[in-house]
Every structure is written in C-alpha cells, then in structure tokens.
Amino acid sequence: MSLPYRREIDGLRAVAVIPVILFHANFSQFSGGFVGVDVFFVISGYLITSILIDDLQAGTFSIVRFYERRARRILPALFLIMAASMIPASLFLLPSELRSFSDSIVAVTVFSSNFLFWMTSGYFDAASQNNPLLHTWSLAVEEQYYLLFPLFLAATWRFGRRWFAAICALLAVASLCVAQYSSQVSSMFAFYLLPSRAWELLIGVLIAVHNAGARQIRLSHTTREVGGLLGALLIAFSVFVFDRHTPFPGVYALVPTVGTGLIILCSDKSTVTGRILAHSLLVQIGLISYSLYLWHLPVLVFANHALLAWPGRIVSSLLIGLSFALAYISWKFVEVPFRNRRLISRRQIFTFSACCMAAFITVGFVGHLMNGFEGRFSPSQIQFARAFENRVPTRHYFAREDILKKFRFECDFYDVGRYLAGSPTDEPKAAIARDCYTRDRRLKKTVFIWGDSHAQQLYYGVHINLPSNWQILQVASSGCDPSIHPDTSLRPYCAHSNTVALSSIQTVHPELVIVGQNSGHNAKHMLEIGAYLLKNGAQNVLFTGPTPHWTADLPKIMVFRLWNQPGHYSRTGVNKSVMRINAELKKQFVESPHIHFVSIIDYFCNSSGCLTYFGDNKETGLTTWDYGHLTPIASNAFARDILVPGILGKFVAPPNAPLPEGSSLAKK
C-alpha cells in the first residue's frame, strides 16, 4: 500500500525554503529565515518514517531499498551543484579559500560537512557567509540520522507501535536537552551536530507513528483549523522575529518545529491552511525545493566573490530568480530521471554514486594538497595572500602579528579561546585581567578604552605613543556595542562587558574615555552615552567614528583588483554606505569641551579614495587586515598623528572647563 500524496506537504516545503533563501540574501525582514531548515527536518522525519512504516506493514521493508531511494533523491542533484561550483571557485577564490572549498568538497561527499563546519566556522560568522557549500551541513545531519534510523526502526518496531513511540519520545526529550545545554555553552556544536538536532526529526517521526496507528485520535474540524493556523503563525513568528542572536537550536527551536508538526498533523484540503499550502504555485516550488536549496547559496556566494561585494537587493533578487531557473532545470532533467527505476537501475545508481564520490574525494584532496592551486597567481601575490590568511582555527595572521597581545584581548570578555577551539559561547569569560580595569595610583593620568573590537584596535597605537606616565585601561569585547543599558543586550558576555566597563569608569574616574565601535553609530545616542559617562566618573569622552570599511576583505581586493594599479589610495571596494554614515555623524555630532568626536575615515581617506597601504610594501604596510579592522601599523599611525596629540591636548579638557549644554552635570 503506497502512502497518499499530500499536496500541502509540498507547499510546506516551499514555506521552508523561501525564508532560508531570503535570509541568505540578507533580506533583513527575514532575520529568522534560517529556521526553514528546522521545518525541513520535521518534514523529512515525517515522510521518511511514514514510508518505512508503510514498508514494514506491507512486509516489503528493505535496508538496501531504503538507501537506494536516498541515493536517487539526494546524490544526483548534489553532485551537479558540487561540479558546477568548481568552476567559479577556481576563478574567484584565493588559495586559502579554494583549499577550504576543497576540504568541504570531500566532507560533503562523505556527508560529514557538518563536522567540518563545526570545527572551522560558525553558521552566522561573516566568513561563513562566503562559503558556497555551508548549507550542506543540514544534508549531512539528515544522512547521518538516516544511516542509523532504519536499523533502529527495524529493531524496535517489533515491540509495538506504542513502545516505539515511547522510545522515540524519550530520545527526542534527551536530544532537546542536549540542544538547550549546548546552545548555551557550545553554540556551534548545538547548531551543526546530530545529537542536538535529532529531536526535530523525531517530531516528524512521532507524527508518522501516530498516523500509522489503527485507532487514530480523530480531531474535529475546528481543532484541525485552529491547529493548522497556529502552526503557520508559529513558523511566521520565528521567521520574522528570530535573528542570528537567538540561542539556537534549544527551546527556541520548538517554535518553528512544533508549528510544522501542527500543520502536518492538522492541515489537509479541508482546512484553510491546507488549501493555501496546496496552491499550485507553492506546490511547484515545493517540488523543486531540494534543487532550489542546493543552488541558491552557491549562486549568491559566488556572486559575492565575483563582485567583491555582497549583492544589493536588486541584484540579489535577480540571483534568486536565477536560482529558481537552475532549480527547475536540475529538478526536471536530473532529479526526476534519476528517481525513475525504469530509466536507471539500482546497480546503475549505486555505480554512478560510487564513481562520483571517488572523483570528488580525489579532486578535493588534490585541491588541499596543492594549497588551493596557488599557481593561478604570481609568487608575490601568493606571498601576500599567505601573509593575511586568517581562517579559523589556525588564524595565521593573528599568530604572526601577535594580534591578541597588540590589541589586548586579555581585556575581552568574549571567550576567544573557546571560539578558536571550535566551541564558541555567548557566556562571558570568568574574568579578565585586573590591570584592564584597576587604576594604578602611581600613574598620574588614565585613558579608558571601551567598546568592541574596533575599540580594541586603538590600543596598540595609543600604547606605543602615549607617555609612560599615562595608564591605559580597557574593557572592550568583540561584537559588543558600548551601551549604558547593558541588560538590553542579547549576548550575555556583552551585557557583562558593558556592566564591568561602566562600573570601572565610575570607580577609576579616568581623565579620558575613548569609545569605539564597528557599527550602529548614531550622534544622538553617542551624546547620551557621553553625558552619562560624565555624570558617572569620566572627566572627558572621545568617540571615534567608523573605520574605512571595504566591501570584501582588503587583502582579497588587493590581489584581485588593485595589485597592478598605481597609487596608495583607491575608491575600488570602499563601502560607500559607511562613508555616508561618517559624513552624517560629522554633521550631527555636537562637540563640547568634555565630549569630542574624531573621524578615523578622515585620516585614512581623501578625494582619491581610502589608503590601502603605507610605504612601498603592500604586505607590511596594509592598513586593514579584513573588511575594516586596522592593522597594527595603521593603529600606530592614527594614534601617533591624531589620537595621542589630542589626548595630550584638546581631548582632555581642564577640570574647570564648562560642561556640554544640556548635560545632566551642567544642570546641577
């Protein structure tokens, strides 16, 4: 007996894949679009289990047949996308990037890419968004699950449906507990690996077991209507409200997965939700959803690499359209034929799969051993690219330049050590060094650096240029905007960092607080922070504007676009939106004797563009090692020419200077 076709399930696949695509295309309204993968997990658990139970009840259960079906369903389209990705990879990737791509080719082939990405990158990291095969982690999770699940089902189904359901329910609860715990202490483990994802598939399994029962609980029409609509609302809520800071996939993941379960359980052609999902457009998108999921990220990512900038909304929309076209072609001419047993036999599909896997593994190993085929570049370009290679976990550039020391990472509450070890957490480090926030009374004056990594980058230059009778304190944590309302932060380590910073400023009364941050610059908020700091310990406050930002990492722009161009200044690759933000800040910021603003962009940029490197050596003189963090030589130059003269001059106003008009101190 074959299972009845449910059009609404294909419509639900469309609901799953569209938010994922829009999330990856940086449509900000779909900030939680990544939950589409969780929807897929529940659907997959339901469908595969339904098929296996149907086989068991019909006496046709076969492990070999199951793996044949998976091979027909998964491999042909996957192999097509992998082969197609190799062409732009060879054109647009640096050697280190192509070597990492080669590693991912091998990992994807043996369904272990989730382990590779767990060890090397976080899903929401900026570098990860440039990985064209990042999305294959979910395929790896599913295939690892289905490598074991048929054996587990065959071994336990004999004890009866209720016993099987009870065991699955216990496993689901255990997996959810693992997910909740690991999302707090090791978010990458939680996100990528099967132990913290199995419960989502098991939700689908439990629904399939329920539907397979001889005496199903009959739900009333009203209950099914309400259940389906509630499920749709839960999915919509998670897509539009969740974001990359939402702890995942712990209890928050219950929202989209329970919503999916409710739709599968309650919705059919007699309900409003079921009829909407069964619309022909959604069904057609659902039919091509697997190919669409595979194509969309390589298309978007390689466009980013080719343009050396993430595509804007119009270009992204065109690229999404291209993804749909490619998905339809691969569905019609690859997926459908390979699923037809009359066209391709079991032996042929297994032979095809084995040959392709061997070929991809070979190509991947060769790409790794050949260091990303460095021969594509000149020796000087290769040396330059190697100098700025900084991928997790080795981070060669950080190690070579001793960046952790030069930018004083011992004053960072983000646990960098755990991040480099592949188990990042948003929980703060137990403590930072005491000399980061404790005043040395033997020194006459103190500068306090506060903010995120764009505040950290100022330390090196200030440290080597400021007279020795000044003490430099610092509480600056990666990814943490300075805030006078610490409890509003979604990241525990940021809340803790800002709390410690504010408390320390109130205690040590520094002569000057330097506030630096990557983004979110707003003159009104900055002036509010300045007034608060003056009221709570600071004698003077200096805000630094954004650094020059580049549309891609500056070393990559240098290799691909600027290598043979004359001059040190360039407009190519400059992030114009950040330039506009800086211009607005300069217009709106109202300085006073105790609150100042200094433009980093004005120092590094002029009418010819922004400075790419000092002196005659691109490698030793580069100003930015990534998209916008200053190198030590740039930090030194800016501090020597701008910051330190200002600290010794107008930035540290005499105690009797008038306070800014409108500040809380001026009113007293």
Domain boundary among 332, 354, 369: 369
Residue 167: pLDDT over 90:
yes
Residues 6+ apart with CB under 8 A from 144: 111, 112, 114, 194
Domain match, 425 and 355 both: no
Q: Which amino acid is at 364?
A: G
Residue 451 lies in a domain: yes
Residue 657 lies in a domain: no
Count of alpha carbons within 13 Å of 18, Cβ hemisphere only?
18
3-class SS string, 160-207: CHHHHHHHHHHHHHHHHHHHHHHHHHCHHHHHHCHHHCHHHHHHHHHH
Residue 378 lies in a domain: no
pLDDT at position 664 is 32
Residue 652 lies in a domain: no
Domain match, 89 and 230 both: yes
With vertex at residue 515, the alpha carbon angle to CA 514 and CA 521, rounded to the nearest 5 degrees, is 145
Residue 453: pLDDT over 60:
yes
Residue 660: pLDDT over 50:
no
pLDDT at position 127 is 58
CA nearest to 199, candidates 256, 277, 124, 118:
256
- Residue range 469-486: average pLDDT? 95
User: For the domain that residue 450 is a member of, what is the CATH number?
Assistant: 3.40.50.1110
Domain match, 105 and 235 both: yes
Distance CA 495, CA 480 (A): 8
Q: Which helix (H) or strand (E) holds 231?
A: helix 221-241
The pLDDT tens digits for 24-78 are 999 999 999 999 999 999 999 999 999 999 888 888 889 999 999 999 999 999 9
pLDDT band per the 50, 70, 90 thresholds, residue 567: confident
pLDDT at position 245 is 81
- Judged by DSSP in three states, 471 sits in strand
- Residue range 397-423: average pLDDT? 88
Domain match, 78 and 197 both: yes
Domain match, 192 and 58 both: yes
The pLDDT tens digits for 368-400 are 999 999 999 999 999 999 999 988 777 889 989
pTM: 0.89
Inter-residue contact 12 to 263 (CB < 8 Å): yes
- Residue range 16-27: average pLDDT? 96
Distance CA 466, CA 449 (A): 13
Residue whose structure tokens are 């320390």: 504
Count of alpha carbons within 13 Å of 112, Cβ hemisphere only?
9
Q: Which domain holds residue 502?
A: 396-647
pLDDT band per the 50, 70, 90 thresholds, residue 314: very high
Inter-residue contact 310 to 26 (CB < 8 Å): yes
pLDDT band per the 50, 70, 90 thresholds, residue 654: low
**Structural domains counted in the chain:** 2
Write the Ramachandran bin of 124: left for phi over 0, alpha for psi from -120 to 50, otherwise beta: alpha
Domain match, 198 and 286 both: yes
Distance CA 49, CA 212 (A): 10
Domain match, 243 and 286 both: yes
- Residue range 4-28: average pLDDT? 94
DSSP structure class, residue 537: T
Residue whose structure tokens are 């034929």: 337
Q: Which helix (H) or strand (E) holds 585?
A: helix 576-588
Domain match, 456 and 326 both: no
Q: What is the DSSP string of 541-578?
A: EEEE-PPP-BSS-HHHHIIIIITT--SSEE-TTB-HHH
Q: How far apart are the first and last CA of the chain?
A: 84
Residue 653 lies in a domain: no
Residue 298: pLDDT over 80:
yes
Residue 388 lies in a domain: no
Residue 381 lies in a domain: no
pLDDT at position 212 is 79
Rounded to 5 degrees, φ, ψ at 266 are -105, -25
Residue 130: pLDDT over 80:
yes
Domain match, 123 and 173 both: yes
The pLDDT tens digits for 511-560 are 999 999 999 899 999 999 999 999 999 999 999 999 999 999 999 999 99
Domain match, 362 and 408 both: no
Domain match, 437 and 332 both: no
pLDDT at position 422 is 65
The pLDDT tens digits for 72-107 are 999 999 999 999 999 999 999 999 999 999 999 999
pLDDT at position 395 is 82
- More confident call, 108 vs 131: 108
Q: Pseudo-torsion of CA 420, 425, 426, 429, nearest 10°? A: -70
Distance CA 92, CA 83 (A): 15
Cα separations in angstroms, 58 against 1, 55, 158, 166, 241? 7, 5, 14, 23, 44
Residue 635 lies in a domain: yes
Inter-residue contact 111 to 13 (CB < 8 Å): no
Domain match, 267 and 154 both: yes
Residue 460: pLDDT over 90:
yes
Residue 125: pLDDT over 70:
no
pLDDT band per the 50, 70, 90 thresholds, residue 310: confident
